[in-house]
Amino acid sequence: MNKLFATLLLTLAALPAQADLKVFATVPEWAALAREIGGDKVQVYAATTAFQDPHRIEAKPSLLAQARQANLVVAAGADLEIGWLPLVLRDSGNAAIQPAQPGYFEASAWVNRLEVPTVLDRAHGDVHAAGNPHVHLDPRNVLKVGEALTARMAELDPAQAATYRSGFKTFAGKWQVAMARWEKEAAPLRGIGVLVHHRSFVYLESWLGMRELGALEPKPGIEPSSGHLTSLLARQQATPAKMVLRAAYQQDGPSQWIAGKAGIPAVLLPYTVGGTLEAKDLFGLFDDTLQRLLKAAR
Amino acid sequence: MQKSFAMAALLAASCAAQAAGSDADLAAIRAQIAEMKQSYEQRIAALENKLAEAESRTAQSAAAPVAVAPAAQSSASAFNPEVSLILQGKLRQMKDIPNRGITGFFPAGVEGANGRGFSADETELVLAANIDPYWRGQAIVAMADGQAEIEEAWFQSLAIGHGVGLKAGRFRSGIGYINEQHPHARDFADAPLMYQAMFGDSYAQDGVQLKWLAPTPLFVEFGAEVGRGANFPGTDRNRNGAGGSALYVHVGDDLGVENSWRVGLSWLKTKAGERSADFTDLAGVTAQGAFTGDSTTWLADFVWKWAPNGNPKYQNFKFQGEYFARQEKGALNCSSADAASLCNVAVESAYRTRQSGWYTQGVYQFTPEWRAGLRYEQLDSGTRDFGLNTANLAVDAYKPKKTTAMVDYSWSEFSRVRLQYAQDKSMAGITDKQWTLQYIMSLGAHGAHKF
């Protein structure tokens, strides 16, 4: 029986003997970045889609099976996936992807986070002790994360290190050109006041110089209430917002309500890769985000 | 710097006013100004150098993680484990039945099953942390009046790899589906009848658990446990070696982006030594039955979850069911101190039972805050062969049934209040209408729940 089990174990262990680096990305944006860097040398699995709230995912069997075989987990970090990822990592039986191992990478650790709370109290809602985790909507952060991710991929897969570095160099070159274009195009957005559903756009706003005048969620993670929406509407007189933003995975009801009452456009932003048809990759994500913002600002 | 420029300008102005002054004065002033200019230029150059240095340093540091300095945290307390405290209390209205049990089943002894009115129930304290790079530990202490029970206290491996997970200590067994779920994570205020009949509530033991996750795209997990086996249906027998063992396999996957499922098959074997419970003998007198023998339980479970776009936040549906079959083989000793009892002189006999049961439930979350659920369950007392004691003890043949409906409201992920109504026919001849109003509040660390 023991021998049989050992043989079975060995056979199964030998099955996935492919050389490719297997990347388990918790969110589509970092899956897309890993693909940009690794090209066809990496197998990238995205644990969530743009239509799923990354805070509220469950430790599904499929995620465990994928994490079991991953060489590298790329997480957003800053507690975004705290409700499911720690469980997936621990139950995966995969020693390489545990926190503090080279196979565990947290994107938000490589950028300056905004909104790091000075007071940690759940009376302020589901606050993240390490700051706002939605860091990817500032393209400068994408570049910083990309540089660190390239180094990590090269460390884990030295045979392809040169490929990853040149992959990133090509990406960074195109990204910088695109960033200059975006910043130019986005000039009319500077100083515009916006409302947001959840505080998922602070990095975008800080990059483009937009002003966030309020969130439809009374506190992070608490659903919009009619009382809170009414108070936001009342504030519209003194400090008028030009539009109300929501991510593809958020319900449209609250932003439609306030848009209708205040006579401002409700703007759906892809938020991440795959959130709209146009947001096919990271470039498409920013192109489409800007097009949608500019259209609403007109 | 601005101030210095202003002074220079003033000086220049005063120079202009003294334009009629001597050339010597003028030369002295020029020299002074030149000196000042030179000194400022040097200082500006120094500052520029410093700035350039700082800029290159931040450029370099882009390659290192940006650490957020924890505010005023001493290094000793920074290593404190994740702490959470679960408050769960209830208000319950039901019939007053002195010896609440499940007709036709050897009583597993459900704690607090008869509590009516207001109660703070159990308060659960959870402490967890990584011990070092190789191990993680967790303890769950359930506190109630006058007692603190170690519900779980285990450590688990982080660094074995190859899909292997090792856990040792006191832990909830991986058998079945809801067995590992603590009461606060369940969808109803009480455990299904099936779990009450099988284990009292859930099965935990002191021992070792070994799990292996297959390296396949399909989720396939095998688990094996050996332990003390001191809890019902086993008893503490103070022996060397293992008193209980379990094996299980779980298989699961996604169907498209909206559906996820898991099925499981489990086997549990325990041994009991003089496991005693009250029986009613044929003379209608209470007698004590003590069972010594083996208990084998098979469990089959499945769960299916659906959410539009796979995003469970706004709407989701969860459907689950479990089935069990248990076989007990051994001896039954019937005794009673009551002279009227047929077991006044202890009678030893064979004991063989084959019993089964199932439950199925569906819970629909229709807004981020509201959920509603329905559960139906049925047990079968099956065959009960008491051998010689058939002449002394009543052998109840009964199919206990229970239907439960609940609706709950969550302000956030951390607070929930639930109203539950159950029509309980778990005791022959009694229909108990039970109302439960329950709250579950989680303080502290953000917990993660299993699928």
3 state SS for A70-119:
CCEEEECCCCCCCCCHHHHHHHCCCHHHCCCCCCEEEHHHHCCCCCCCCC
The two three-digit tokens of residue A168, written as one number: 């990133």
Q: What is the pLDDT of residue B49?
A: 64
Quick one: angle between helices A28-38 and A139-156, nearest 10?
60
Residue B113 vs residue A20, higher pLDDT? A20
CB contact under 8 A, A52 and B311: yes
Q: What is the pLDDT of residue B13?
A: 45
Q: Could you say which residues from 220 to 249 on chain A have a Cβ atom under 8 Å away from some Cβ of chain B?
A: 221-223, 249
Residue A15 vs residue B217, higher pLDDT? B217
B312 Cβ under 8 Å from any chain A Cβ: yes
Query: CA quadruple A179, A182, A184, A190: dihedral positive or negative?
Result: negative
Query: CA quadruple A202, A205, A211, A217: dihedral positive or negative?
Result: negative
Whose tokens are 């629909």? That residue is: B364
Chain B, nearest residue to A88 by Cα: B450
Q: What is the pLDDT of residue B251?
A: 98
pLDDT at B180 over 60: yes
- Averaged over A94-107, what is the pLDDT? 96
B61 Cβ under 8 Å from any chain A Cβ: no
Q: Could you say which residues from 119 to 158 on chain A have a Cβ atom under 8 Å away from some Cβ of chain B?
A: 122, 125-126, 130-131, 144, 147-148, 151
Q: Which of B60, B61, B66, B260 to mutate to test the interface with A (most CBs of A within 10 A)?
A: B66
Contact A131, A122 (CB under 8 A): no
For a pLDDT cut of 90, what percent of chain B falls above it?
62
* Average pLDDT of chain B to the nearest whole number: 87
Q: What is the pLDDT of residue B43?
A: 72
Quick one: angle between helices A28-38 and A161-185, nearest 10?
120
Chain B, nearest residue to A224 by Cα: B368
Residue B105 identity (one-letter amino acid): F
Strand partners, B364: B317, B372
Q: Could you say which residues from 369 to 388 on chain B have a Cβ atom under 8 Å away from some Cβ of chain A?
A: 369
CB-count burial class (<10 Å; 0-12, 13-18, 19+) for A212? middle
- Averaged over A122-139, what is the pLDDT? 91
CB contact under 8 A, B158 and A90: yes
pLDDT band at B61 (very low <50, low <70, confident <90, very high): very low
Whose tokens are 């309980």? That residue is: B424
pLDDT band at B59 (very low <50, low <70, confident <90, very high): very low
The residues near A11 (Cβ < 8 Å, ≥ 6 apart) are none
Contact A42, A24 (CB under 8 A): no
- Residue A179: closest CA among A137, A224, A237: A137
Residue-wise pLDDT for A223-261, tens only, equals: 899 999 999 999 998 999 999 999 999 999 999 999 999
CB contact under 8 A, A98 and B162: no
Strand-pair category, B135-144 with B286-306: unpaired
Q: What is the pLDDT of residue B338?
A: 87
pLDDT at B18 over 60: no
pLDDT at A220 over 70: yes
For a pLDDT cut of 70, what percent of chain B falls above it?
86
pLDDT at B282 over 90: no
Residue-wise pLDDT for B378-408, tens only, equals: 999 999 998 988 888 888 889 999 999 999 9
Q: What is the pLDDT of residue A260?
A: 95
Q: What is the pLDDT of residue B121?
A: 86
Contact A153, A21 (CB under 8 A): yes
> What does the alpha-carbon distance between residue A193 and residue A236 come to, in Å, rounded to a whole number?
10
Which one of B164, B253, B449 has the shortest CB-CB distance to A62? B253
CB contact under 8 A, A125 and B412: yes
pLDDT band at B14 (very low <50, low <70, confident <90, very high): very low
> What does the alpha-carbon distance between residue A196 and residue A204 come to, in Å, rounded to a whole number?
12
Q: How many CB pairs under 8 A join A and B?
A: 155
Q: What is the pLDDT of residue B101?
A: 86
pLDDT at B190 over 60: yes
pLDDT band at B21 (very low <50, low <70, confident <90, very high): very low
Task: Kindly report the nearest CA distance between residue B406 and chain A, in angstroms.
Answer: 22
> What does the alpha-carbon distance between residue B149 and residue B140 come to, in Å, rounded to a whole number?
9
3 state SS for B221-236:
EEEEEEECCCCCCCCC
pLDDT at A8 over 60: no
Q: Could you say which residues from 22 to 41 on chain A have a Cβ atom under 8 Å away from some Cβ of chain B?
A: none
Taking residue B362's Cβ as centre, other Cβ atoms within 10 Å add up to 16
Contact A26, A58 (CB under 8 A): no
B132 Cβ under 8 Å from any chain A Cβ: no
Q: What is the pLDDT of residue A4?
A: 54
pLDDT band at B77 (very low <50, low <70, confident <90, very high): confident
Q: What is the pLDDT of residue A15?
A: 47
Distance in angstroms between the alpha carbons of the first and the last residue of chain B = 64
The residues near A173 (Cβ < 8 Å, ≥ 6 apart) are none
CB contact under 8 A, A59 and B314: no
Residue-wise pLDDT for A27-84, tens only, equals: 999 999 999 999 999 999 999 999 999 988 999 999 999 999 999 999 999 999 999 9
> What does the alpha-carbon distance between residue B316 and residue B311 come to, in Å, rounded to a whole number?
8
Single pTM value for the model: 0.85
What's the full length of chain B, in residues? 451
Give the rounded distance of the alpha carbon of A164 from its chain centre: 21
Residue-wise pLDDT for B336-379, tens only, equals: 988 888 888 899 999 999 999 999 999 999 999 999 999 999 99
pLDDT at B75 over 70: no
pLDDT-wise least confident of B41-50, B391-400, B410-419: B41-50
pLDDT-wise least confident of A104-108, A113-117, A129-133, B96-100: B96-100
Which letter, b or e, does each residue of B274-310 get, where b requires 16 or more Cβ atoms within 10 Å of its Cβ? ebeeebebeeebebbbbbbbebebebbbbbbbbbebb
Residue-wise pLDDT for A77-98, tens only, equals: 999 999 999 999 999 999 999 9
Q: What is the pLDDT of residue B394?
A: 82
Give A109's contacts in chain B (Cβ within 8 Å). Answer: 65-66
pLDDT band at B313 (very low <50, low <70, confident <90, very high): very high
A181 Cβ under 8 Å from any chain B Cβ: no
B350 Cβ under 8 Å from any chain A Cβ: no
Q: What is the pLDDT of residue B99?
A: 77
Strand order in the sheet with A193-196: A211-215, A193-196, A243-247, A266-269
DSSP codes of every residue in chain A = -HHHHHHHHHHHHHTT---SEEEEESSHHHHHHHHHHHGGGEEEEESS-TTS-TTS--B-HHHHHHHHH-SEEEE--TTTTTTTHHHHHHHTT-GGGSTTSTTEEEGGGGSPPS---SS--GGG-S--TT----GGGSHHHHHHHHHHHHHHHHHH-GGGHHHHHHHHHHHHHHHHHHHHHHHHHTGGGTT-EEEESSS--HHHHHHHT-EEEEESSSSTTSPP-HHHHHHHHHHHHHS--SEEEEETTS-SHHHHHHHHHHT--EEEE--STTSSSS-SSHHHHHHHHHHHHHHHH-
Q: What is the pLDDT of residue B332?
A: 93
The two three-digit tokens of residue B440, written as one number: 């579950």
pLDDT-wise least confident of A182-196, A278-292, B333-347, B424-438: B333-347
Which letter, b or e, does each residue of B120-155 get, where b requires 16 or more Cβ atoms within 10 Å of its Cβ? ebbbbbbbbebeeeeebbbbbbbeeeeeeeebbebb
Q: What is the pLDDT of residue A3?
A: 57
Q: What is the pLDDT of residue A221?
A: 86
C-alpha distances out from residue B79 to B9, B21, B238, Å? 59, 75, 38
Residue-wise pLDDT for B217-241, tens only, equals: 999 999 999 999 999 899 988 888 8
pLDDT at B97 over 60: yes
Q: What is the pLDDT of residue A244?
A: 96
Task: Kindly report the nearest CA distance between residue A298 and chain B, in angstroms.
Answer: 32
